[in-house]
């Protein structure tokens, strides 16, 4: 799959097939994250991969947003919850200075996209999740105090096919009567400024 095709095809997936996600797939995704750009190559991110059916429900209880909506509003049925997670941590001990955090968060975003595109190539869907209960996740997973939970990526084999469409004003994602998720994206002409900023 070429890179632009992958970027175009990737959508956040919130309904998954009831099918286990193999260790090797998660490891390949983390390997892709490992190779992502990072400010001054400091590589402050570490990753917890979760696919143990005994652990998955505890993670699901501690994440939020659309992935927790009821099925009629686009959320997963009980059998469609994520089959795996990759949790991106920031190791504070590796951050050279306290004001490095904004750089670290950019590192997290770049690592996350590598994970999600690699997942796509492996037939997996994913959804980045910033709404989570950090305290509970740290407790549940035994994450040491010097680590911050930066992002949770829900993963699994997709059981939905969201569609992207040009935004006509509002950019809220919406679910139609067939349960298909629509993702409005601002048009290229509305966001690009060629050679200098132009408001036209």
Ligand X SMILES: Cc1cc2nc3c(=O)[nH]c(=O)nc-3n(C[C@H](O)[C@H](O)[C@H](O)COP(=O)(O)O)c2cc1C
Q: x-or-dash pattern for ligand X, window 173-192, by CB under 6 A? A: x---------x---------
Q: Which of residues 43-82 bind ligand X (CB under 6 A)?
A: 64-67
- Which of 127, 153, 155, 175 is close enough to bind ligand X by CB under 6 A? 127
Q: Which residue is nearest to ligand X (CB)?
A: 65
| CA–CA gap between residue 17 and residue 19 (Å, rounded) | 5
Is 130 a residue that touches ligand X (CB under 6 A)? yes
- Report the residue number, 22 or 60, with the smaller CB distance to ligand X: 60
Structure-token match 């105090």, residue found: 145
Is 128 a residue that touches ligand X (CB under 6 A)? yes
- Binding segment for ligand X (CB under 6 A), chosen from 9-17, 23-31, 77-85, 140-148, is 9-17
Sign of CA dihedral 82, 85, 88, 89: positive
The number of angstroms, rounded, from the C-alpha of 121 to the middle of its chain's C-alpha atoms is: 15
Using an 8 Å Cβ cutoff, are 125 and 167 in contact? Answer: no
- Report the residue number, 20 or 64, with the smaller CB distance to ligand X: 64
Is 139 a residue that touches ligand X (CB under 6 A)? no
Report the phi/psi class of residue 41: left, alpha or beta, with left for phi > 0 and alpha for psi in -120 to 50: left
| Count of positions on this chain that bind ligand X (CB under 6 A) | 15
- Report the residue number, 1 or 130, with the smaller CB distance to ligand X: 130
Is 149 a residue that touches ligand X (CB under 6 A)? no
| CA–CA gap between residue 131 and residue 129 (Å, rounded) | 6
Report the phi/psi class of residue 195: left, alpha or beta, with left for phi > 0 and alpha for psi in -120 to 50: left
Q: CB of 97: closest distance to ligand X in angstroms?
A: 24
Sign of CA dihedral 189, 164, 119, 61: positive
- Residues forming contacts to ligand X in the complex (CB under 6 A) are 11-12, 14, 64-67, 127-131, 162, 173, 183
């Amino acid at each position: 799959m070429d890179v632009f095709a992958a970027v175009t095809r990737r959508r956040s997936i919130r309904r998954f097939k009831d099918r286990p996600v193999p260790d090797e797939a998660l490891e390949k995704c983390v390997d892709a994250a490992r190779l992502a750009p990072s400010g001054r190559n400091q590589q402050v991110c570490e990753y917890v991969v979760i696919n143990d059916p005994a652990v998955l429900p505890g993670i699901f209880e501690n994440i939020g947003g659309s992935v927790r909506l009821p099925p009629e509003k686009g959320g997963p049925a009980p059998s469609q919850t994520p089959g795996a997670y990759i949790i991106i941590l920031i190791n504070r001990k590796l951050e050279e200075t306290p004001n490095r955090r904004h750089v670290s968060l950019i590192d997290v975003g770049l690592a996350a996209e590598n994970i999600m595109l690699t997942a796509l190539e492996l037939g997996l869907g994913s959804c980045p999740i910033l709404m989570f209960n950090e305290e509970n996740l740290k407790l549940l997973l035994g994450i040491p105090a010097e680590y911050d939970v930066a992002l949770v990526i829900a993963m699994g084999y997709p059981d939905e096919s969201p569609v992207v469409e040009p935004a006509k004003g509002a950019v809220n994602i919406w679910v139609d009567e067939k349960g298909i998720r629509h993702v409005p994206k601002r048009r290229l002409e509305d966001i690009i400024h060629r050679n200098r900023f132009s408001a036209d």
